[in-house]
């Protein structure tokens, strides 16, 4: 692993701007890139003339794809080519499912204590190699190293909770249904499960998916985002280092062709999806149309409702939730609703936003990294322009932000738009960039009505010191995750990550309740005597 992973970075360094190279080299010097040495060489990249190509993981082997269709993975801070992802061929996809199906026959019979012990070793390895995974996330996704470590840590918590999955797999019993008759139910694994991940959390979201499924006794076919596949490959390698038998976890690459295969493959029983509404609604319809269980977490427009008695620090918290990770978080607070006099907080929010430093995620002191692609940058800038045309007031403009040494990067700085009405494009679209739109309401009732009328229902927060207002909000709001003076209310894995309305398809949530999604109930009735 050492050699080939190093060569990826060497290529990235050599093809990046000088300053970017210096940033990466500084990280190497600081020991952040102490490459993983658990295997003699990195098997998941194959050399090619243009850039290293990611391999699929099939049946425990990292296999170079024979596909001629390659998708570029670029560094968002420079737009230089880092690596390429193959569009896996049909026979590669079929092999992945067949190896998962074969592995299931024995894996399902491995005692739960042993499957949990695998997770115990796995969490230890993820912890040990967090810096390495974080560096790859920052290179491919652009977020700061601190955010990249947070990305891994949130996934690590799911792995930790899977270390004690046994109680969730317990069935139920009822004695004496009638004389000599008892009833027992077992929770049994389903078979081959699949996961399809987005670009924005390259470690956390794959870790939401396969660790719980595999510990429950299922086997898995994972498709990482074609834009940020590296972290998932490292995590897959660590899973094998932790002792996961061959074929239990498979990774296949590609875009829509791979997704369509997953939706249609008869042996795949479930699909876990996280990503946009366009893809998620399509996958939910196609997957359930093929009789699969599908859980899908989709897009968001998260509102912060600010009351006039908001506690000190609310503006700072709001800015962090709106602009952190360049707004590329499904839980980013992208719309603020000022209730009455709370509108006076706007200058404070703008002042907080102006403190954010935009730049390369590897550089110290940077708060906001680049957007994932040039198309994404252009889309965000275009929405800002259209929003102004539709009547928005531009309070802070992050377009055209200059980042010295990274002139080709996809940067947009914190942007604030006020005088937004419900039909303004900056409100109706999920922007997925560092743009905060400001709306106003006269009363808390009006604010709640506004939030509940939005098509999305992923996360929201209220900022107030009034217990009565907070309680009313919590009880009347129709949104999955709700914070009271907490800007990004992300639940721990032994709760569930939920959602409402347009932010979710399917009726089973990720993390804790996903266990039920991944199992079948087998009911037995025993007669002891006649």
Q: Which residues are catalytic?
A: 330
Q: According to CB under 6 A, which residues from 243 to 282 bind ligand NAD?
A: 255-256, 259, 274-276, 278-279, 282
Residue placing its CB nearer to ligand NAD in the complex, 287 or 361: 287
Min dist CB 430 to ligand NAD, Å, is 5
Residue placing its CB nearer to ligand NAD in the complex, 19 or 286: 286
Q: According to CB under 6 A, which residues from 42 to 101 bind ligand NAD?
A: none
Joined tokens for residue 327: 């707004």
First to last CA, the chain: 64
285 binds ligand NAD (CB under 6 A): no
Residue with tokens 């009833």: 183
Residue placing its CB nearer to ligand NAD in the complex, 52 or 229: 229
Binding string, residues 314-353; x marks residues near ligand NAD by CB under 6 A: ----------------x-----------------------
Interface residue with ligand NAD among 5, 63, 73, 196 (CB under 6 A) is 196
Interface residue with ligand NAD among 96, 139, 197, 336 (CB under 6 A) is 197
Interface residue with ligand NAD among 199, 261, 338, 406 (CB under 6 A) is 199
H or E element at residue 296: strand 293-297
Residue placing its CB nearer to ligand NAD in the complex, 335 or 339: 335
Joined tokens for residue 393: 């007031």
Interatomic CA distance for residues 345 and 317, integer angstroms: 12
Interface residue with ligand NAD among 53, 214, 236, 300 (CB under 6 A) is 300
Residue in 42, 37, 46 with CA at minimum distance from that of residue 64: 46
Residue nearest to ligand NAD (CB): 275
Joined tokens for residue 458: 């992923």
Residue in 25, 75, 136, 23 with CA at minimum distance from that of residue 411: 75
Interatomic CA distance for residues 310 and 465, integer angstroms: 6
217 binds ligand NAD (CB under 6 A): no
Min dist CB 295 to ligand NAD, Å, is 10
Min dist CB 458 to ligand NAD, Å, is 5
Binding string, residues 430-459; x marks residues near ligand NAD by CB under 6 A: x-x-------------------------x-
Q: According to CB under 6 A, which residues from 474 to 503 bind ligand NAD?
A: 497, 499, 503
SS (H, E, C) 461-529: EEECCCHHHHHHHHHHCCCCEEEECCCCCCCCCCCEECCEECCEECCCCEECCHHHHCEEEEEEEEECC
Residue placing its CB nearer to ligand NAD in the complex, 121 or 501: 501
Residue placing its CB nearer to ligand NAD in the complex, 411 or 510: 510
Q: Stretches 149-157, 162-170, 190-198, 355-363: which one binds ligand NAD (CB under 6 A)?
A: 190-198
Residue in 21, 147, 29, 5 with CA at minimum distance from that of residue 78: 21
Instruction: Report DSSP state, residue 358.
Output: B
Residue in 125, 95, 445 with CA at minimum distance from that of residue 250: 95
Contact predicate 128/275, CB 8 Å:
no
Number of residues in contact with ligand NAD, rule: CB under 6 A?
29
Residue placing its CB nearer to ligand NAD in the complex, 300 or 310: 300
Instruction: Report DSSP state, residue 203.
Output: T
Interatomic CA distance for residues 50 and 346, integer angstroms: 49
Residue placing its CB nearer to ligand NAD in the complex, 300 or 479: 300
Residue placing its CB nearer to ligand NAD in the complex, 150 or 217: 150
Interatomic CA distance for residues 436 and 334, integer angstroms: 5
Contact predicate 165/116, CB 8 Å:
yes
Residue with tokens 């960039």: 433
Interface residue with ligand NAD among 16, 99, 144, 200 (CB under 6 A) is 200
299 binds ligand NAD (CB under 6 A): yes
Interface residue with ligand NAD among 158, 238, 298, 518 (CB under 6 A) is 298
Which distant-in-sequence residues (6+ apart) come within 8 Å of 128 by Cβ?
A: none
Strand ranges (E), 47-133: 53-54, 56-58, 61-63, 70-74, 81-86
Interatomic CA distance for residues 507 and 319, integer angstroms: 32
Q: Stretches 196-204, 311-319, 342-350, 377-385: which one binds ligand NAD (CB under 6 A)?
A: 196-204
Min dist CB 501 to ligand NAD, Å, is 12
Question: What are the angstrom distances between the C-alpha of 141 and each of 36, 151, 178, 210, 524?
Answer: 20, 11, 61, 21, 49
Q: Stretches 3-11, 242-250, 293-301, 338-346: which one binds ligand NAD (CB under 6 A)?
A: 293-301
Contacting residues toward ligand NAD, per CB under 6 A: 196-201, 223, 225-226, 255-256, 259, 274-276, 278-279, 282, 297-300, 330, 430, 432, 458, 497, 499, 503
């Amino acid at each position: 692993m050492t050699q080939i992973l190093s060569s990826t970075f060497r290529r990235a360094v050599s093809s990046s701007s000088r300053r970017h190279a210096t940033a990466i080299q500084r990280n190497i010097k600081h020991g952040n890139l102490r490459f993983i040495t658990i295997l003699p060489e990195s098997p998941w990249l194959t050399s090619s003339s243009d850039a290293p190509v990611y391999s699929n993981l099939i049946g425990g082997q990292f296999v170079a794809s024979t596909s001629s269709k390659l998708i570029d993975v670029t560094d968002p801070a420079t737009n230089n080519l880092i690596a390429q992802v193959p569009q896996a061929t049909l026979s590669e996809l079929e092999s992945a499912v067949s190896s998962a199906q074969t592995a299931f026959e024995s894996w399902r019979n491995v005692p739960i204590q042993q499957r949990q012990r695998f997770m115990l070793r796995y969490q230890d390895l993820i912890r040990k190699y967090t810096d390495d995974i974080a560096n790859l996330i920052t290179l491919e996704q652009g977020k700061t190293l601190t955010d990249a470590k947070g990305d891994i840590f949130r996934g690590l918590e799911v792995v930790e909770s899977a270390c004690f999955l046994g109680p969730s797999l317990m069935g139920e019993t009822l004695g004496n249904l009638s004389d000599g008759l008892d009833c027992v139910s077992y929770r049994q694994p389903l078979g081959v499960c699949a996961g399809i991940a987005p670009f924005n959390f390259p470690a956390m979201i794959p870790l939401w998916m396969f660790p719980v499924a595999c510990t429950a006794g299922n086997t898995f076919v994972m498709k990482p985002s074609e834009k940020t596949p590296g972290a998932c490959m490292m995590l897959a390698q660590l899973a094998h280092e932790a002792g996961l038998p061959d074929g239990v976890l498979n990774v296949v690459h590609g875009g829509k062709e791979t997704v369509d295969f997953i939706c249609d493959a008869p042996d795949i029983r479930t699909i876990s999806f996280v990503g946009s509404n366009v893809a998620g609604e399509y996958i939910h319809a196609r997957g359930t149309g093929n009789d699969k269980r599908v859980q899908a977490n989709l897009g968001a427009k998260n509102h912060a409702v600010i009351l006039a008695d908001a506690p000190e620090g609310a503006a700072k918290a709001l800015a962090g939730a709106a602009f952190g990770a360049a707004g590329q978080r499904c839980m980013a607070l992208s719309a603020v609703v000022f209730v009455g006099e709370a509108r006076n907080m706007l200058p404070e929010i703008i002042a907080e936003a102006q403190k954010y430093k935009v730049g390369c995620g590897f550089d110290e002191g940077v708060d906001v990294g680049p957007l994932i692609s040039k198309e994404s940058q252009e889309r965000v800038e275009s929405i800002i322009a259209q929003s102004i045309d539709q009547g928005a007031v531009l309070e802070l403009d992050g377009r055209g932000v200059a980042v010295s040494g990274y002139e080709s990067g996809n940067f947009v700085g914190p942007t604030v738009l006020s005088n937004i009405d419900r039909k303004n494009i900056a409100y109706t679209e999920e922007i997925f960039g560092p743009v905060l739109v400001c709306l106003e309401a006269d009363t808390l009732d009006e604010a709640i009505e506004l939030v509940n009328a939005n098509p999305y229902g992923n996360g929201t927060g209220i900022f107030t010191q009034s217990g009565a207002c907070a309680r009313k909000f919590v009880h009347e709001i129709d949104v999955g995750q709700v914070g009271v003076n907490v800007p990004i209310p992300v639940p721990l894995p032994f709760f569930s990550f939920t959602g409402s309305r347009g932010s979710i398809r399917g009726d089973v949530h990720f993390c804790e309740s996903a266990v039920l999604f991944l199992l079948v109930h087998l009911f037995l009735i025993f007669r002891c005597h006649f």
